[in-house]
């Protein structure tokens, strides 16, 4: 998860290149579930089998496309996947080897086994609003949550999903150097906002990417079991034509 030129100049020996397009084309815009056929072709291109242990990294751990790829791999049923904490920046700071040599691999025939429970759409989120057994988590900045700015093109409506709590993924999950915070620190931050293991947790941002970082933290680092990514996120919710059905707040 680097940009093309960065990868060509230096990468961890043996690493293969997954592009931004690979991830985003598979993820889609959230109006329907991720495209498993596209992701199968990517995994096959890399020679990955269901038994392969895949380690993902980007320029640094704040690159949410890394956790998006992780989420997609979990979604298609691939459990043997890890993230390099701190990414390439930490690797290089520790004076570890990098190379510009590209590894060649023999393609595989990867078959996905999607887990639909990891994904929710707008109607499922709408039905969860006000449910005491569900917590909706907005991982955008406080300014986006309050409707004061938008990261990308401004949607028709600014603000956040009614009842959602705001836990900015960077401030909550990451240290200044881009590594993940301690389990105890993150657990305390989430539980203080009512994000607890006995709840269904729905996470969103503006397109499912930043949300994936919090999904990774909750499921893989804190051990939560019922965590879902609303991939459509605010990019979809804020452009809905029926705000009475899809309520918002500022």
**How does DSSP assign the chain, residue by residue?**
---HHHHHH-B-TT-----HHHHHHHH--SSS---HHHHHHHHHHTT--TT--EEE--SSTT-HHHHHHHHHHHHTT---EEE-TTHHHHHHHTT---B-PPP------------GGGB--HHHHHHHTT-TTEEEEE-S-HHHHTTS--SSSPPSS-SEETT-EE--HHHHHB-TTSPBPPHHHHHHHHHHTT--TTSEEEEE-SSSHHHHHHHHIIIIIS--S-EEE-SSHHHHHTT-S-TTTS-EE-
**Catalytic residue from among 72, 205, 215, 231:** 205
Q: Is 45 a catalytic residue?
A: no
Query: Mind telling me the catalytic residues?
Result: 205
């Amino acid at each position: 998860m680097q940009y093309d030129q960065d990868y060509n100049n230096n990468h961890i020996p043996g690493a293969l290149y997954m592009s931004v397009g690979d991830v985003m084309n598979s993820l889609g815009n959230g109006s329907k579930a991720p495209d498993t056929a596209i992701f199968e072709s990517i995994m096959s291109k890399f020679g990955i089998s269901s038994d392969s242990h895949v380690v993902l990294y980007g320029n640094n751990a704040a690159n949410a496309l890394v956790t998006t790829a992780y989420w997609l791999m979990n979604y298609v049923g691939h459990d043997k996947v890890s993230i390099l904490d701190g990414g390439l920046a930490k690797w290089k700071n520790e004076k570890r080897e990098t190379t510009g040599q590209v590894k060649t691999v023999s393609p595989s025939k990867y078959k996905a086994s999607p887990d639909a429970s990891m994904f929710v759409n707008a109607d499922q989120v709408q039905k969860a609003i006000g449910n005491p057994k569900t917590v909706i988590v907005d991982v955008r900045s406080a300014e986006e949550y309050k409707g004061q700015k938008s990261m990308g093109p401004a949607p028709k409506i600014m603000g956040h999903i009614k009842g959602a709590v705001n836990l900015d993924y960077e401030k909550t999950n990451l240290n200044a150097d881009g590594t993940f915070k301690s389990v105890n620190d993150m657990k305390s931050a989430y539980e203080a906002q009512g994000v607890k293991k006995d709840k269904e947790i729905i996470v969103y941002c503006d397109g499912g990417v930043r949300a994936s970082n919090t999904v990774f933290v909750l499921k893989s680092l804190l051990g939560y079991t019922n965590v879902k990514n609303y991939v459509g996120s605010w990019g979809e919710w804020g452009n809905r034509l029926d705000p009475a059905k899809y309520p918002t707040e500022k």
